[in-house]
């Protein structure tokens, strides 16, 4: 009897333990997404005439790093501001996705060419840019020559060469300002064919009559610009930078946007940051504003003040076959506070042939991940967002939700784990409006290419710091203030 009685507490305890879960399920980490509409085109561009009329201070591209004017800032505007009057928000967004697809193809073409797959004859992948089909996304206004003639220029971290259209035109596309005429600039100078900087071009040419250097930039879709490789003075608000190597394009063919040309911000030897390295300590940063939530302009800084104290840094890694792009190490991604099991560092590895890897790019809008990584991320997000009503796929997006009638929703958190830096994305950086009817889509996409690209939608609101001297990139949250 006593033996049976003593068994009762034991059996009760066993029963209770059997009801208790062996491992409690982790709580899903979420954040609130305030639902905004597709951005409308700005009514006007807010450039300061006073900045253009002021007398800038002067220095050469390799000037004194201690000079007081070795720091300057720029306003950046999205290319939608150059769209025709009457363009609807839906048309702007659809055009952005078309530009984005073109941009990604150009980058993939460059990557493939660098490792010997499909390289175009006579052209180097290191000068293939994303401006083809108007895929540069942000532009600024700067002065070219002496006296300065002000033009719109696209800024692009995926390109090296600085170039603009020049008169006389053999063929020029339509741009917003008069075409720059070097004959009216006292600071314009051709570069001799035997100059070291001419030999830095991957496929330099030579004008046999003038004995001056020629350049050529090709794009993945067959567009190109060609002309004289020269030096010229560029004026950024009140800061003048002399003797910058610039392509003066007399033959420019392709579907370009209305800017005059491109300011290359890549890692290559001929990019603007590389040419002006001593003056600005090889540091620059930008903060891209979410245009659906704010009307303030995006901004860019050059010099020591470009480095934010709150930035979390990850090392830059080098691709020996392709020096233009900014490669980083992505180790994994978390959704809802839990690392996604199917996403490992091996999926993003840059191999010895120059294939694969992850780049940070200002001109790509939607982040592209290698297909296996994307599928794992998408599936984890779908599980975490299971309470939201699904909607039909839209364009390249295969995970969309019908949020019509709502003003805000809870969504799982998404964190990118770079080496040394965990970057927690705001909800508006990965669930975005795609129409005017309340459809929102998960703003990542898969790619069959081995190259992954961190796009500008995911960069919105961060000050992205490029510290080339320190060989690192930093992300500072809420950096647009």
Catalytic (active-site) positions: 156, 361
Cβ neighbours of 170 (radius 10 Å): 11
Phi, then psi, of 51 in degrees rounded to 5: -65, -40
Beta bridge partners of 176: none
CA distance 469 to 451: 25
CA distance 10 to 73: 74
Among candidate residues 211, 210, 214, the one with its CA nearest the CA of residue 228: 214
- Mode of pairing for the β-strands spanning 239-253 and 57-60: parallel
Phi, then psi, of 109 in degrees rounded to 5: -60, -45
């Amino acid at each position: 009897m006593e033996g049976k009685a003593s068994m009762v507490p034991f059996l009760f305890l066993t029963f209770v333990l059997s009801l208790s879960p062996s491992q409690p399920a982790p709580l899903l980490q979420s954040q609130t997404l305030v639902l905004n509409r597709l951005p409308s085109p700005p009514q006007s561009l807010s450039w300061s005439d006073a900045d253009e009329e002021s007398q800038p201070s002067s220095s050469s591209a390799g000037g004194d790093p201690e000079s007081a004017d070795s720091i300057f800032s720029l306003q950046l505007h999205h290319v939608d501001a150059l769209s025709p009057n009457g363009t609807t928000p839906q048309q702007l967004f659809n055009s952005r996705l078309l530009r984005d697809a073109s941009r990604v193809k150009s980058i993939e073409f460059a990557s493939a060419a660098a490792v010997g797959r499909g390289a175009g004859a006579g052209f180097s992948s290191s000068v293939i840019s994303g401006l083809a089909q108007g895929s540069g996304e942000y532009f600024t206004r700067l002065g070219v020559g002496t006296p300065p003639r002000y033009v719109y220029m696209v800024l692009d971290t995926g390109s090296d060469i600085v170039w603009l259209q020049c008169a006389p035109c053999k063929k020029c596309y339509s741009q917003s300002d008069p075409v720059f005429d070097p004959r009216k600039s006292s600071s314009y100078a051709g570069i001799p064919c035997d100059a070291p900087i001419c030999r830095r071009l991957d496929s330099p040419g030579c004008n046999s009559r003038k004995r001056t250097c020629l350049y050529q930039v090709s794009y993945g879709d067959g567009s190109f610009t060609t002309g004289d490789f020269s030096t010229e003075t560029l004026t950024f608000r009140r800061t003048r930078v002399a003797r910058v190597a610039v392509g003066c394009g007399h033959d420019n063919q392709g579907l370009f946007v209305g800017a005059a040309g491109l300011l290359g911000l890549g890692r290559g030897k001929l990019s603007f940051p590389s040419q002006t390295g001593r003056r600005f300590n090889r540091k620059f940063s930008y903060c891209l504003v979410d245009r659906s939530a704010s009307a303030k302009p995006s901004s860019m800084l050059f010099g020591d003040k470009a480095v934010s104290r709150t930035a979390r840094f990850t090392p830059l890694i080098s691709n020996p076959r392709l020096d233009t792009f900014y490669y980083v190490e992505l180790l994994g991604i978390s959704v809802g506070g839990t690392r996604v099991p199917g996403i490992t560092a091996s999926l993003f590895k840059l191999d010895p042939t120059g294939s694969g890897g992850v780049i940070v790019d200002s001109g790509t809008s939607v982040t592209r991940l290698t297909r296996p990584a994307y599928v794992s991320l998408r599936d984890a997000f779908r599980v975490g967002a299971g309470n939201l009503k699904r909607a039909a796929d839209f364009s390249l997006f295969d995970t969309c939700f019908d949020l019509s009638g709502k003003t805000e929703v809870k969504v799982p958190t998404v964190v990118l784990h770079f080496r040394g830096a965990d970057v927690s994305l705001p909800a508006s950086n990965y669930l975005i409006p795609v129409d005017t009817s309340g459809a929102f889509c998960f703003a990542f996409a898969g790619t069959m290419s081995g190259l992954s690209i961190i796009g500008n939608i995911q960069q919105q609101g961060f000050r992205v710091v490029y510290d080339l001297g320190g060989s690192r990139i930093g992300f500072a949250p809420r950096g647009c203030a």
